[in-house]
Amino acid sequence: MNIQRRLIAATVSCLLAFLCSAAASAQTADRGRAPFGDEALQKVIHDYILAHPEVLIESLQIARERQQIRQEQQSKNLISSLKKELVDDPMTPVRGNPSGDVTLIEFFDYRCPYCRQVEPWLQTLINNNSSLRVVEKEMPILGAASVYEARMALAALKQGKHEAFHNAIMSKKPNVDDATILQLVAQAGLDLDRMKTDMNSPEVDAEIKRTLEIAKVLKLNGTPAFIVGSELVLGATDLETLQALVDEARHGTN
């Protein structure tokens, strides 16, 4: 609502400026007539807006479109400036084809129901695109349990078993308890003692901190969020949208 009020205020301000300019031009063109006073000019503007409300509506729409274009361009510039951190961080898990020609980046939280909603579509996307590389950015924002699971996932990466751990966790409900998590760790073939050490390592601390800092720069306030090429998609989306983004990135159109 604050953004909308600012847009309306900006639109009215621009419209007033336009009408004032038009009135001033009219005065200059017709010097034989008395100039508008403030009250007279305000009445002209008031009457004009009442007679043509569609002008205000159209101006508001144009202002919104311009703001959206500015935000999208700003997002593209930020993604470009963060490309190395987004795509080539060795501490970030990768699924799919590690040498793929297109990279899809997902910011996610194991406790996020929307992340779980899109997980089957991501898996289908990976299965249908043999040259797709999926980078999983651990963004634990839903409390201590989210942080705990993110740490375990990054520790699993150190043992070369991130995907096994990821699939095991995502196969369960998001509010799985610690005992069940430990069972899943064992089933995934992970060394539990090593995991307990690795999950509290400085490297894992740094990776989570780095991801949260990137998310802040990109103004990501929730999960999931996806980046493909220079396009940023916020929130859960569908398989068709993800596939279209991958296709556009592959052909250099986004």
- What is the predicted pLDDT for the residue at 1? 45
**Which residues, other chains included, contact 197 with Cβ-Cβ below 8 Å and sequence gap of 6+?**
none
Contact 77, 17 (CB under 8 A): no
Note the pLDDT of residue 34.
47
CA distance 194 to 191: 5
Residue ranges of domains in the chain, CATH in brackets: 2-73 (no CATH), 84-250 (3.40.30.10)
Number of H helices, E strands in the chain: 11, 5
pTM of the model: 0.73
Query: Which residue reads 């989210």 in tokens?
Result: 146
What's the average pLDDT block by block, 10 residues per block, for the chain (254 residues)? 51 56 53 57 73 75 74 82 92 95 96 94 96 97 94 95 93 83 88 93 96 94 95 94 94 79
Q: How far apart are CA 142 and CA 111, in angstroms?
A: 7
CA angle 146-152-153, nearest 5°? 90
**pLDDT recorded at residue 54:** 78
Plot region of 214 (φ>0 → left; ψ -120 to 50 → alpha; else → beta): alpha
